[in-house]
Structure 1
Amino acid sequence: LISVMSDQILNIPELENDGIVFAKQGFNIIGTANTRDKGVNEMSGALKRRFNFETVEPVRDVSLEKEIIIREAQDLAKTGHIDQPVDINAAELLAVTYHELREGITEEGTKLEKPNAVMSTAEAVSVYYQTMSSAWYYGDGKTDLGELTQNLLGAVCKENKDDLEKLKSYFRIAVKEKSARKGGIWTEYLDTAKYLK
């Protein structure tokens, strides 16, 4: 990549005309990486000098995160031919869960242990869409909070099993508190803690 980025020329011997391909006007290379992931190989200093770096911080606004989950889940459902509306209450519950676990504090001010997992909005969308797909293909078309919790468990604990205790603690502290204060969907959510094994 260094020569391609510096000279904007790619040499492919199998091609005619000396095997040289010149970049056209507007040529760019865009690369992405998670800040927590080191990947297989560390990027060399020479390559780093040829990139501009932009760090995208997590979404800090719960209502915006909920809207992103809803919008992306609707787009994925349309692409997957899943004719099912998004459960807005479940999307909000998931946005609050991700926000509080990521920040390490509840909206009520209770401190939490942050999981080591990358608690990104993209992960939240994936968890919601998995739940939606399961409801469409295997359920009655309604969001199953037990399924949501199991998908959340998979996302949070896929890289570090120590995060299971942090997720259980979230249910024991934050979800229990919200269940007592708000009831409704939070009480149903609290009941799904049995899946955290």
Structure 2
Amino acid sequence: MSGGREKGAGSGAGADESAGGGGVLSERPARRQIELAEDRYARELAFLAEWDRGPRPPGWRLTPRAVVVFVCGSGGEVLRAGTEEEPSGRELVVARKFVGDRALVERCVVTLAGERGLLLVGEPGTAKSMLSELLSAAVCGTSGLTVQGTAGTTEDQVRYGWNYAALLAKGPSRAALVPSPVLTAMTRGAVARVEEITRCLPEVQDALVSILSERRMAVPELADSADDGEGTVHAVPGFTVIATANLRDRGVSEMSAALKRRFNFETVGPIADLDTETALVRAQATAALARGGAEFTVDQAVLEALVTAFRDLRGGRSAEGWEVERPSTVMSTAEAVHVATSMGLAAAYLPDGRDPLRTLPGHLLGTVRKDDPADHARLLGYWDGPVRRRAEQGAPLWRTLWELRDVLG
């Protein structure tokens, strides 16, 4: 984020020290690298609230139907707000944001409408977190009540902590309590998000069991305080939890049977269609370059070759049916977006006349050998298999890639 004053290129780190703390914090709104869903799509959310004024579950900003349309788009249809008797004159085509099964999204929305926990599982890079963010933004207006699960996540981050200065000065009180995102969601009737829940230690996961079953959280320290004699925080209608978990993390901290019963499981899979995945990679890479004021110029054929290679290595079989040894690294759509973005950045900022296709083998190698050194050999096997066969069949682009095999070392 930029500092309190707009800084020109080449301004020093201390150029804005008068703003306090080197200009890190400022009253002036700053540009963000990534906007929250509720801010990025504020216009669509406001329109959809007016478009469908039907019944809504407690605490919801939109109707369940409008939430599905927000996530999946209107399919090119122009939606018109208001009623036939009182048309507002506002109309909008809602863009598709999640590339996946609409029935999956509908099941997720129904789960949340029933105030039941929702657990999104799948391979890394399948947009589980993005779907969680979109659903939260549409349902309660905020996606920011989030606990990021790691091995270092503590129970306090799921329950509550204390402002120790206030605690020492006045004793246990609501004013001294520091609520977790989950506790805040309970008091607002909102959606709390728990990312990578299986990376949390079992005792941290178990803190959610009573919250999801009893819909209340005990705060014993408040039981004898002057401003709260009950010592229990009860969830407001509308509260629920969306959690995510990677299939690759199964066994890191296995969820207990008791916690599993509190969630409806939905599996988010890879994108099934090549053209759809290619279009998504292009859109995401284009947006990434646009944030830096650059244009994405990678040719469509090169992008299709990139996505095809990812799909072959991810699935263990080429589109032609040839066997491919799968690397241990996750060859996700998200990784394909990163590679496409890198190729686009090189073309925009390091223009040396090289065809972006010639940089593809190096980028693939950097992606594949993240986890296991043996994955290098698996990528070479892919080059000696499908890449060579396509080159022998006369495909010019794949012939160029075959000629670049030495880049893989």
Q: Same fold (TM over 0.5)?
A: yes
Paired residue secondary structure (2:325): coil
CA contact (8 A) 1:9 1:21 kept: yes
The reply on whether 1:70 has 2:277 as its aligned counterpart is no
Q: Which residue of 2 aligns with 1:170?
A: 382
Give distance in 1, aligned partners of 2:227 and 2:404.
65
> Alpha carbons of 1:30 and 1:175: their partners in 2 closer, same or farther (altered >3 Å)?
same
Give distance in 1, aligned partners of 2:227 and 2:260.
32
Q: 265, 270, 295: which is aligned to 1:58?
A: 270
CA contact (8 A) 1:87 1:143 kept: no
Q: C-alpha deviations, 1:48-88, integer Å up to 9, x for none?
A: 22121111222232222212211221222223433233421
- Pair member with larger Rg: 2
Give distance in 1, aligned partners of 2:217 and 2:290.
39
What amino acid is aligned across from residue 165 of structure 1 in structure 2? A
Q: C-alpha deviations, 1:108-147, integer Å up to 9, x for none?
A: 3322222222222222112212222233233448762343
Give distance in 2, aligned partners of 1:53 and 1:130.
35
What amino acid is aligned across from residue 116 of structure 1 in structure 2? S
Alpha-carbon deviation of 1:171? 0.8
Question: In percent, how many aligned pairs have the same letter?
Answer: 37
The reply on whether 1:145 has 2:352 as its aligned counterpart is no
Give distance in 2, aligned partners of 1:180 and 1:110.
14
Alpha-carbon deviation of 1:4? 2.9
Q: 318, 322, 326: which is aligned to 1:110?
A: 322
Paired residue secondary structure (1:81): coil
CA contact (8 A) 1:175 1:186 kept: yes
What's the TM-score once normalised by structure 1's chain length? Answer: 0.82
CA contact (8 A) 1:146 1:195 kept: no
CA contact (8 A) 2:297 2:347 kept: no
Give distance in 1, aligned partners of 2:322 and 2:375.
18
Q: Which residue of 1 aligns with 2:120?
A: none
Q: Which residue of 1 aligns with 2:250?
A: 38
Alpha-carbon deviation of 1:90? 1.6
Paired residue secondary structure (2:266): coil
Q: 362, 366, 371: which is aligned to 1:159?
A: 371
> Alpha carbons of 1:97 and 1:21: their partners in 2 closer, same or farther (altered >3 Å)?
same
CA contact (8 A) 1:115 1:163 kept: yes
Alpha-carbon deviation of 1:159? 0.9
Unmatched segments (≥5 aa) in structure 2: 1-207
CA contact (8 A) 1:2 1:46 kept: yes
Q: Which residue of 1 aligns with 2:335?
A: 123
Q: Which residue of 2 aligns with 1:5?
A: 212
Give distance in 1, aligned partners of 2:238 and 2:383.
50
Give distance in 1, aligned partners of 2:405 and 2:349.
24
Q: How many residues align?
A: 197
CA contact (8 A) 1:114 1:166 kept: yes
What's the TM-score once normalised by structure 2's chain length? Answer: 0.43
> Alpha carbons of 1:163 and 1:7: their partners in 2 closer, same or farther (altered >3 Å)?
same
Unmatched segments (≥5 aa) in structure 1: none
What is the correspondence of 1:86-105 to structure 2 with a 5 Å cutoff?
A: 86-105=298-317
Whose RCO is larger (CA < 8 A, sep 6+)?
1
What amino acid is aligned across from residue 317 of structure 2 in structure 1? I
Q: 183, 188, 195: which is aligned to 2:400?
A: 188
User: How large is the RMSD of aligned CA atoms in angstroms?
Assistant: 2.8
Give distance in 2, aligned partners of 1:7 and 1:140.
63
What amino acid is aligned across from residue 60 of structure 1 in structure 2? A
